[in-house]
Amino acid sequence: MRENIKVVFMGTPDFAKCSLEKLVESGYNVIGVFTNPDKKSGRGMQLKYSAVKEYALSKNIDVYQPQKLRNNVEVIDILKKINPDVICVVAYGKILPKEILELPKLGCINVHGSLLPKYRGAAPMQWAIINGEENTGITTMFMDEGMDTGDMLLKEQISITDDDDFETIHDKLKNIGADLLIKTLDKVVDGSIIRVKQPQECTIAPMISKEMTKIDFSKTSREIFNFVRGLSPFPGTYIEDEKNNRYKIYKVKIVDKNKISNDITSINQKEGTIVKISKNELVISTKDGYINILQIQPQNSKKMDITSFLNGNKQLKVGDKFI
């Protein structure tokens, strides 16, 4: 029975909280939660709990927040004392060392936001969108010492449409992941789970740094469209003009070249050049065409639609270039 299975849960953000909620609601005996240490945030730099910690405390579940797991005798002692049957890991942000992986008799189960072996690593959802994948999904797996290299257990696939961005895919997959974790755990407990070895061929989804978020107008319109939505709303992409003014970009649209009026053909079409400004259009040239900025955030201002931005910002003009 589920209530007889002692579970330790390891996770940090909202994506992980969804799985923890499902474990608790499904009747599994969650005896402890590991999450990242509290971080300072906001203007007052107040310590903020992770989404997982907030939920765990609301359910009176013991919470542990070690800075590290590797070579941490205290963590090993805690886990040996509470003696979990299984450890479930969802977006924890730390690699489990061998001594922890070998502790629970039913193993360590991970919920990963891609269709493994594609997109092993820290940012699988973002890279799937950026790379123009038509599908993504969730894979559950038994963990080993590698980065998302363990035996695959269950998968569920969804489509990525042009209306999706990182936020919509994240919200779809966090719910699918929570449900798939329960299905996986049930099969692990009753012994019916089937393990599938991962092939050596894989793709990697490295963590995305701020330095990687600048839009490159030498790419195609489709590549830029995918790049922007893959990083929206967080961390967002940005463009920079020749006066070093920086603008964060959250939404763009590919412009049909056949619908562009002939009056811009005389304008310098070099990549990154503004070729049209109207009431609701800020059209910029790309490698193979144009994109229209739909949602923008100037420095020291709030996010706004392009009409609101253009109403209050008259400094940009046709022929200006983003570098």
**Superfamily the domain 2-190 falls into:** Formyl transferase, N-terminal domain (3.40.50.170)
What confidence tens digit (pLDDT) does each residue in 116-169 have?
999 999 999 999 999 999 999 999 999 999 999 999 999 999 999 999 999 999
Domain residue ranges in the chain? 2-190, 210-312
Compute the distance between CA of residue 252 and CA of residue 225 in angstroms, rounded to an integer: 6
- Return the pLDDT at 264: 60
Compute the distance between CA of residue 140 and CA of residue 299 in angstroms, rounded to an integer: 41
Q: What is 219-262 written as a DSSP string?
A: S-HHHHHHHHHHTTTTT-EEEEBTT--EEEEEEEEEEPGGGS-G
Compute the distance between CA of residue 283 and CA of residue 253 in angstroms, rounded to an integer: 9
Q: Who contacts 198 (Cβ-Cβ below 8 Å, separation ≥6)?
A: 116, 117, 141, 149, 150, 151, 152
- Return the pLDDT at 48: 87
- Return the pLDDT at 39: 85
**Cβ 193 vs Cβ 187: under 8 Å:** yes
What confidence tens digit (pLDDT) does each residue in 31-57 have?
999 999 998 776 666 788 999 999 999
**Cβ 322 vs Cβ 240: under 8 Å:** yes
Compute the distance between CA of residue 121 and CA of residue 240 in angstroms, rounded to an integer: 29
Tokens of 88: 């479930």
Mean pLDDT of all residues belonging to the chain: 94
- Return the pLDDT at 120: 97
Cβ-count burial of 174 within 10 angstroms (0-12 exposed, 13-18 middle, 19+ buried)?
A: buried
Helix axes 14-25, 51-58, angle to 10 degrees: 30
Percent above pLDDT 90 for the chain: 86
Compute the distance between CA of residue 140 and CA of residue 90 in angstroms, rounded to an integer: 10
What confidence tens digit (pLDDT) does each residue in 207-239 have?
999 999 999 999 999 999 999 999 999 999 999
- Return the pLDDT at 322: 95
CB count in 10 Å sphere of residue 245 = 15
> CA angle, corner 173, sides to 172 and 174, nearest 5?
95
Cross-strand partners of 246? 240
103: pLDDT strictly greater than 80: yes
> What count of residues does the chain have?
323
Compute the distance between CA of residue 97 and CA of residue 13 in angstroms, rounded to an integer: 21
Fold (CATH) for 210-312: Methionyl-tRNA Fmet Formyltransferase; Chain A, domain 2 (3.10.25)
Helices assigned H by DSSP within 212-288: 221-230
- Return the pLDDT at 266: 54
What confidence tens digit (pLDDT) does each residue in 251-276 have?
999 998 777 765 565 566 789 999 99
**SS3 label, residue 187:** helix
